[in-house]
Amino acid sequence: MIQAADALLLKQIDQSLARRSTLWQRDLSSWEAYRRSVAPNRERFAKQTGVSKDPRVAGAGFEYVSPVAGVPLVNYDQGSLWWVRWEAFGKVHGEGFLLEPNNYQGVNLIALSDADHTADQLARDFANPESQESGFARWFGSLGCRLLIPILVDRSENDFHLSQREWLHRPAFELGRTLAGYEVLKVLAALDEMEAAHPGSRTGILGWGEGGRLALYAGALDERLQSVCVASYFGSRQEVWDEPADRQVSGLLREFGDAEIATLILPRTLVINQGIFPDAGYRLGADGRPERLKERQAKPGKPGRLHSVPLAEARAEVERLRELTAGLKPEPTVVFQTSPPDREVSGEAVAAWLSALGVSAEAPVPAPGAMASHLDEKSPQWFGHRREVQVSELEGHNQWALEDSRRLREEWFKAIRTDTLANYQADMAVPRQRFREEVVGDLRLDKVPPAPQSRRYQEGAGVVSYEVRLEVSPGWFTYGILTLPEKLDLSGKEKRPVVVCQHGLEGRPQDVIGEAGFKAYSAFATTLAQQGFVTFAPQNPYIFNDHFRTLQFKAQSLGASLFSLIVPQHEQIVSWLGSLPFVDAKRIGFYGLSYGGKSAMRLPALVEGYSLSICSADFNEWVWKNAATDPRSLRYSYANKGEYEIFEWDLGSTFNYAEMAALICPRPFMVERGHFDGVAPDEMVAFEYAKVRRLYQALLGIGDRTEIEWFAGPHKINGVGTFRFLRRHLDWPAAP
């Protein structure tokens, strides 16, 4: 099943290249018409990266800060190098180096290095008269250019053995943002400050490695950047799922590869430079590739490696860019250059980049002259503190966004009428479609007949079980165990209710029917069959650790998720079960534990053939559980745990568990909660369930359709109140 899912998603990724054209309506008749025609794509890209989520702050200019107050880091004959910070968004600041030339000529340059070029390293290089960085600073100063070098969050590992970039990206993603989006916002806020200080000035941006990615994104999103140079990044993104977690952009490949993003820069000048690439990765195997292991490892992050783009691939992506804009007149300037083996960016690329800003690059690099460095032995600690401030500010913004997300969810729900059930159900059609399209994701798989295959599996006390395989779509199937009461009349004279019994993480259908997983599952599928229910225990594809978690990243690159594969499986299951002569199609309930409880919140919300849902050992304030990073919450939060696939795009402002339950409503819904379950504290479970209870009881007057059972136990099926709930709402008499 995992192999089939992998093949299906890789095929979808391959097909995304051809499908993207349906989302673009490029008008090549003129530059102005072209710019207007791609504006909707630019807006969608801003949303996908989270850049449109947070408004930039109108700041008060650059704040000059240095280890020695009022003194630049380095003085050159041509200008001075400072450390500056500026307001960006919320309470977040950008920080970095600013070269102030002695003879400013109205040109601003923004240069972004790779994430692992730390401020301390760069400062030492700028202070070394023999270094390339020092030479560049003197050269740009002699050209009269104001040069800003924003510092990025680096890839060092924190106390949880996560890279700082993944640590910040995880909650941001859950809240409709990305780390790259945050860093682009810092760049654009700096651009605001530069333009405010010097109206009418010209600005270009250049980036290498991770900085190249951000230069590409910033150039695509802000037309004030008149010249863009992308160094050692540009290439195919068809394997973005294999890169580090912070490279994740939901739905990227559905509409954008690097070539498509670059078309948003045109007709402004774009320079693409192919040189040496930064070498970085996390959880790499002996072959240098990201690990794919079936067992969980000590390090909790996503395996991933930066993609070193082969020259042929870079040329092919540039050619795609040119094909996408062929016919645009006047022909835009797209320059492709390669660097010498020892250079990150070639001189020719820099010259082409500057030329578009009206700057001649013919001037030689000035001699060091009377350089004066004001760095000392305490400077590394000072720069280390600046790095910590950047991380802590973004942590704080993520936590502010987490708190604000509740308001955003409440805002959309205000429009839902609750005066009658009919009005409620009609109004929930739009949120349900949004949940399907924007949160879970719809791959629009072609359905095929189920073509069931079955074989007897085992017999037990009063029951008999069968393994069943159903086809779902070409190359995709589902499998499970059907358990029947031994004396069931199969002719159809009597219609029985069905309970679909769902296993949790790394589980199997066998776990819910027998002794293998009895401690957690209490063989509840078999017990219910002994009480007269038909039960079906499906295999869901959250097994084999890295192998299934990687599926999530492949799916998310298409704007989908693992549940985009699971929903069609369960649609087929419900349809097939309902076709059996001894099953009442209107009495099919869902009951899942742990990851099966996660399924209980998402599947019945979209598979309306489920007549009720029971969420066991999972229900809680789900957005908090994914995005909270304060010390107390980290006992429960996924933010520092090994479930690196668990984060769902922009769930924060759309659907927490109360809103998912609202999609299940007015069908019966129940929570099964053990007081000693480590999923969440009782208070958070009660907090989220109170909203569900209010909807059913206070707003809709159907309080008898929902309940929560608290029991003194751990992460397990209790099978007391839930069994009563099933008998009542599936209309089945009490067991004798």
- Terminal-residue alpha carbon distance, the chain: 39
Average pLDDT in the chain: 97
pLDDT-derived band of residue 132, with 50, 70 and 90 as boundaries? confident
* Eight-state DSSP code of residue 56: B
Q: Which residue among 400, 423, 439 closes a domain?
A: 400
Asked if 609 and 727 count as a contact pair (C-beta separation under 8 A), the reply is no
540-582: pLDDT as tens digits: 999 999 999 999 999 999 999 999 999 999 999 999 999 999 9
Indicate if the pLDDT at residue 89 is higher than 90: yes
Indicate if the pLDDT at residue 734 is higher than 80: no
Same domain, 585 and 715: yes
26-65: pLDDT as tens digits: 999 999 999 999 999 999 999 999 999 999 998 889 999 9
Mean pLDDT of 613-641: 98
669-686: pLDDT as tens digits: 999 999 999 999 999 999
List, in sequence order, the alpha helices (H) in 540-617. 546-556, 562-579, 595-606
Vertex 435: Cα angle to 431 and 439 (nearest 5): 145
434-483: pLDDT as tens digits: 999 999 999 999 999 999 999 999 999 999 999 999 999 999 999 999 99
153 or 368, which is more confident? Answer: 153
The reported pLDDT for the residue numbered 363 is 85
Same domain, 475 and 557: yes
Same domain, 475 and 611: yes
CA 642 to centroid of chain Cα atoms: 16
Q: For 90-201, list the strands marked E by DSSP.
A: 92-101, 107-112, 145-150
Nearest one of 337, 184, 318 to 263, comparing CA atoms: 318
206-222: pLDDT as tens digits: 999 999 999 999 999 99
* Backbone dihedral angles phi then psi of residue 580, each to the nearest 5 degrees: -70, 140
For residues 263 and 324, what is the distance between their CA atoms, to the nearest angstrom?
Answer: 8
Same domain, 381 and 500: no
Same domain, 335 and 422: no
Q: How many domains in the chain?
A: 2
Mean pLDDT of 341-369: 92
For residues 344 and 275, what is the distance between their CA atoms, to the nearest angstrom?
Answer: 5
The reported pLDDT for the residue numbered 391 is 98
The reported pLDDT for the residue numbered 736 is 58
Same domain, 394 and 435: no
Asked if 612 and 588 count as a contact pair (C-beta separation under 8 A), the reply is no
Vertex 113: Cα angle to 46 and 198 (nearest 5): 70
Same domain, 572 and 699: yes
Q: Which residue among 400, 435, 454 closes a domain?
A: 400
The reported pLDDT for the residue numbered 370 is 84
| Residue-number span of the structural domain to which 442 is assigned | 415-621+656-729
Indicate if the pLDDT at residue 122 is higher than 80: yes
CA 3 to centroid of chain Cα atoms: 23
Asked if 473 and 448 count as a contact pair (C-beta separation under 8 A), the reply is yes
Residue 178's CB is within 10 A of a number of other CB atoms, namely 25
Asked if 534 and 483 count as a contact pair (C-beta separation under 8 A), the reply is yes
Whole-number CA gyration radius for the chain: 29
Same domain, 463 and 395: no
Q: For 320-416, list the strands marked E by DSSP.
A: 334-338, 372-373
The reported pLDDT for the residue numbered 68 is 84
Q: Which residue among 339, 365, 400 closes a domain?
A: 400
Indicate if the pLDDT at residue 735 is higher than 70: no
Inside any domain, residue 371: yes
* Backbone dihedral angles phi then psi of residue 572, each to the nearest 5 degrees: -70, -40
The reported pLDDT for the residue numbered 312 is 97
Question: What's the CATH code of the domain at 123?
Answer: 3.40.50.1820
Same domain, 544 and 667: yes
Residue 448 amino acid letter: V
Inside any domain, residue 408: no
Residue 647's CB is within 10 A of a number of other CB atoms, namely 23
Inside any domain, residue 7: no
Asked if 5 and 476 count as a contact pair (C-beta separation under 8 A), the reply is yes
Indicate if the pLDDT at residue 411 is higher than 70: yes
Inside any domain, residue 304: yes
pLDDT-derived band of residue 376, with 50, 70 and 90 as boundaries? confident
Which token pair is 142? 């002699």
The reported pLDDT for the residue numbered 184 is 99
The reported pLDDT for the residue numbered 165 is 99
